[in-house]
Amino acid sequence: MSRQRFRAVPRSALAVLAGGVAAVVLLRTWSLMTWAYSDWIATSATTRESLVLALPWAAAVAAWTAGRYLSPRNIMCPPSATRSGRPVAVAQLGLLSLAAVVGWLMGCAPLLVWTARHARAGGPDLLVIAGAALVLLAALAFGYLLGCLLPRVASVTVAASVTLLGILAVDVWGPAVAPVRLATPAAGLIESGPVTVFRLLFFASVVALFAAAASHAVSERSVVRRATTYAGVALILVPLLIGGIARQSAPAAVQRESSPAARCTTVQGTPVCVHAAKAAILAPLAEVVDRVLTAADAPAGALGAGVADDALGVPRDPATTVLSLQTDQSDWDGWAAGDLAAQLAGLPACDRRGDVYGEAVGPAQDARATSVGFARWIAEAAGFAPPQLDGSPDSGMSAKLQRLQASSVLALLRRDGERLRECRLPSSAIR
């Protein structure tokens, strides 16, 4: 690109655009690097979900740039200048797009490098990542178009506001055309290939249409704004129409992996399996299972046929203990211990009882409180503080168990373990 065209957007404006995008993207991606394992599915999706604040910023900066340097009364680029019209629009949009993408890559780079170094399975979804770049360019082109049509202050305000509202209206757009989805899939889930390809084509078309409309608006500039200047805005109706059709007919954007690979080990005769992408936490999870089983002096088969990661798509039934591992939390092992202790204490059986009525309400609530108390005792005896049990009422059962010797509680578990696991143990049985 010539030196003349490079000056169509000052270096300072490009630096502000790239720096702002990099900062907000880095802020949004940083949390994934605190996960207990590296996940390419989540990382690929986060390159898109991290744009929540970057899209309004890019749209606003593009609107300001167009308003600042394309005003019909601007001495730097008057309508009569040889650079006016399509050449300057192409030059400015090209430079702004390059700066935005560079800033986005800078913000994503630490997460991509971290995932590449630590991931145990899978690889980047390049189509999803490319789609994220096109979403960013679409927001930038939208802001640039507004900057060509509206006064500068109004264009910046409208560009940022409308872009943010478009992001928040994810349910209105539907996952096929929503700029971001405000949700991050992880191991065990995959983004639908047809939807991903459609998004690539859709947002590429949106970028092209916005750029064409902006070029037309710049070419039609005059000191007195004419109706023909706004004619290109009609092009916006095309993606809106396509988006409306896709909203009704698009398949599910995120699907379960059909045959996920597993990594397994055995703990006290109990198989423990996680998704292959979570192989890094298999050993720590096995230790959690071992400590919980030991703390409860659990008999063989107390956890059913085994312990399985929910990402493997194993059906939830009494025969298997399925864990929804909270690996985005620093205390994910406490969550896992709480779920295991709840299984040993019969809380799933309490949930399966469903709603109860009449005279059955009191006994059901009493049996559940007993199970909650034992679940807390087991998890704490194993050395964990289960967050999910903090707010569960136990009618003083935890305090009652704490006053007993550990040997006495284990004797109760051996004596009444079957009734406890079936959620049929009343609090009156604990003395």
pLDDT at residue 5 greater than cutoff 50: no
The model's confidence at residue 226, banded by pLDDT at 50, 70 and 90, is low
* pLDDT at position 131: 95
How sure is the predictor about 271, in pLDDT bands with cuts at 50, 70 and 90?
very high
Sign of CA dihedral 7, 9, 12, 17: negative
How far is the first Cα of the chain from the last one, in angstroms, to the nearest whole number? 84
- What number is the average pLDDT over the span 372-401? 87
| Residue 244 predicted with pLDDT over 50 | yes
Instruction: Evaluate whether 346 touches 364 at the Cβ level (below 8 Å).
Output: no
Q: Are 200 and 127 in contact (CB under 8 A)?
A: yes
Rounded Cα–Cα distance for residues 331 and 303 (Å): 22
Residue type, 303: L
pTM over 0.75: yes
Question: Is residue 78 scored above 70 in pLDDT?
Answer: no
Taking residues 382-406, report their average pLDDT: 84
Grade residue 126 by pLDDT with cuts at 50, 70 and 90: very high
DSSP secondary structure of 320-386: BEEE---TTSTTHHHHHHHHHHHHHTTHHHHHHT----GGGHHHHHHHHHHHHHHHHHHHHHTT---
Instruction: Write the pLDDT tens digit of every residue in 278-327.
Output: 999 999 999 999 999 999 998 888 888 899 999 998 877 767 899 999 99
How many angstroms separate the CA atoms of 88 and 92, rounded?
A: 6
In eight-state DSSP terms, residue 174 is -
Going by their DSSP bridges, the two strands 262-267 and 270-275 should be labelled as antiparallel
- Cα 335 from chain centre: 20
Q: 296, 302 in Cβ contact below 8 A?
A: yes
Query: CA-CA distance, 160 to 157, in Å (whole number)?
Result: 5
Residue 93 DSSP SS3:
helix
Q: What is the pLDDT of residue 398?
A: 82
Q: How many other CB atoms are found less than 10 A from the CB of residue 349?
A: 18
What pLDDT is stored for residue 234 in this prediction? Answer: 65
Give the per-residue pLDDT at 351.
81
CA 295 to chain centre: 35
pLDDT score at 67:
85
DSSP 218-237: HHT--SS--GGGGGGGGGGH
In the block, which residue shows the tokens 């088969």?
Answer: 301
Q: What is the pLDDT of residues 332-379, one digit of tens each?
A: 999 999 999 999 998 888 888 766 555 567 788 888 888 999 999 999
Summarize pLDDT for 167-205 with one digit per residue, the tens: 998 878 888 888 998 888 999 899 988 899 999 999 998
Q: What is the mean pLDDT of the chain?
A: 86
How many whole angstroms separate alpha carbon 50 and alpha carbon 29? 6
Task: Give the whole-angstrom CA distance, residue 84 versus residue 70.
Answer: 8
Nearest to 203 by CA among 226, 178, 183: 178
Spell out the residues 6+ positions from residue 414 whose beta carbon is closer than 8 angstroms to its own.
297
Q: Does residue 80 have a pLDDT over 60? A: no
In this predicted structure, the answer to whether residue 162 has a pLDDT above a threshold of 50 is yes
What's phi and psi for 172, nearest 5 deg? -75, -45
Here the tokens at position 420 are: 């406890």
The token pair that represents 268 in the structure block: 């006290």
Q: SS3 of 309, please?
A: strand
More confident residue, 44 or 314: 44
Give percent of the chain above pLDDT 90: 47
